[in-house]
Structure 1
Amino acid sequence: MYTDKNLGIRPIKNEDLKKLWELVYKEENPEWKQWDAPYFSHRAVSFETFMEKSDAFVDSDSLWLITVNEKVCGVVTYYFEDEMKKWLEVGIVIHQGKNWNKGLGTRALKLWIHHVFNTVSTVRAGLTTWSGNERMIRVAEKLGMQLEGRIRKVRYYNGEYYDSVRMGILREEWETNKASESD
């Protein structure tokens, strides 16, 4: 577990599964989906169906919970884009609108990237979003990520085209940023 004041990130436990289902799969059109790749479909699933695959979530290395005052409010993830496990991407979702615009995403993603660089043999952490999610782009910039690619007008949502935005930070850049913060 990693903490920053009242915010923490930690592995998922069995007792978290009901809340995780409520945040992610209970609703067909949850509010958070407007920002998290809304051009991809999302389906509600019953709690029973969710529980059939829940073993994959418990104590996962690549999917952790975000908590505020010990209440679950989101998730952080990582996955590899390639079989060689050289291209790592991170992700974050704060599921309830009442927790947006408070800096929680920045704090949680900072803890997560720190964890990733401490536990995964990778030289880079990337983040892919879309140009309609300006808050996510700002979070990445605050953490020192650089724009690495912009694929124009490949995401279609609500009758409008958006760009896919790829950002990333190298391990040595993260370490340099971390060192300068402690000065």
Structure 2
Amino acid sequence: MTVTLPPFTLTNLPTYWDLAYGDPQAEWYNWDAPYLPRQIPTKTAFVTEANPYLDPNLFRLIAVDNTPVGMVSAHYEDGNLKQWLDMGIVIQNPKLWRHGIGKAALSQWLDFLWQTIDLPHLGITTWSGNQRMMGLAESVGMHQEAVVRQVRYWQGQYWDSVKYDLLRAEWGQAKDKND
């Protein structure tokens, strides 16, 4: 099984829309910030309007043996200052969860980001109900840097927002442990 991070293109946007938004009851919605309102774009809008996914420095597909299975992303928490970058990752097909795909993809994404940006810190944010995401962050050498308690409300209860980080100086050590 080969995991790669090809860029989004006008050609593969329709395929990704099918994967990500084709099933409005998809299981992955329950784990990817389910406490936020979800806006599902129409397929036409997704593939024809100016799509931010086409920026290869901020979005990449996750492909397994050349088949799209999810995506990695990055966004600047501080807007145009561009000094605070947070990442994201999602694998849409639950049958592919717990097969090492996320770890391979997130490791590649970290490598790519460290090579293309000049920042000392990268982060990822999840919520306390997503144990798999917390385990993934730790598996690539990230450290829990903050817990904002009881701020995410979903299914009748409050959950914590959990932030992980990795410093550039730590990445080589973390990568050596994982290889």
TM-score range, shorter-chain basis?
Answer: over 0.9
Q: Taking structure 1 as the reference length, what is the TM-score of the superposition?
A: 0.90
For these two proteins, the number of residue pairs brought into alignment is: 178
CA gap of 1:89–1:59, structure 2 versus 1, over 3 A, is closer
Unaligned runs of 5+ in 1: none
Alpha-carbon distance in 2 for matches of 1:105, 1:111 = 10
Match of 1:47 among 29, 37, 43: 43
Alpha-carbon distance in 1 for matches of 2:175, 2:21 = 36
Unaligned runs of 5+ in 2: none
- Aligned identity (percent) is 36
**Matched position secondary structure for 1:162:** strand
Amino acid paired to 2:123: G
Retained in 2: the 8 A contact 1:26–1:44? no
Alignment partner, residue 172 of structure 1 = 169
Alignment partner, residue 60 of structure 2 = 64
Amino acid paired to 1:6: T
Q: Taking structure 2 as the reference length, what is the TM-score of the superposition?
A: 0.92
Instruction: Kindly report the root-mean-square deviation, in angstroms, between the aligned alpha carbons of the 2 structures.
Output: 1.6
Q: In the TM superposition, what are the counterparts of 1:13-162 in structure 2 within 5 Å?
A: 13-82=9-78, 83-162=80-159
Alpha-carbon distance in 2 for matches of 1:152, 1:124 = 23
Retained in 2: the 8 A contact 1:27–1:44? no
Alpha-carbon distance in 2 for matches of 1:97, 1:142 = 19
Retained in 2: the 8 A contact 1:127–1:168? yes
Amino acid paired to 2:66: E
Retained in 1: the 8 A contact 2:6–2:62? yes
| 1:19 CA displacement | 1.1
Retained in 1: the 8 A contact 2:140–2:175? no
Amino acid paired to 2:57: D
Alpha-carbon distance in 2 for matches of 1:55, 1:38 = 23
| 1:175 CA displacement | 2.0
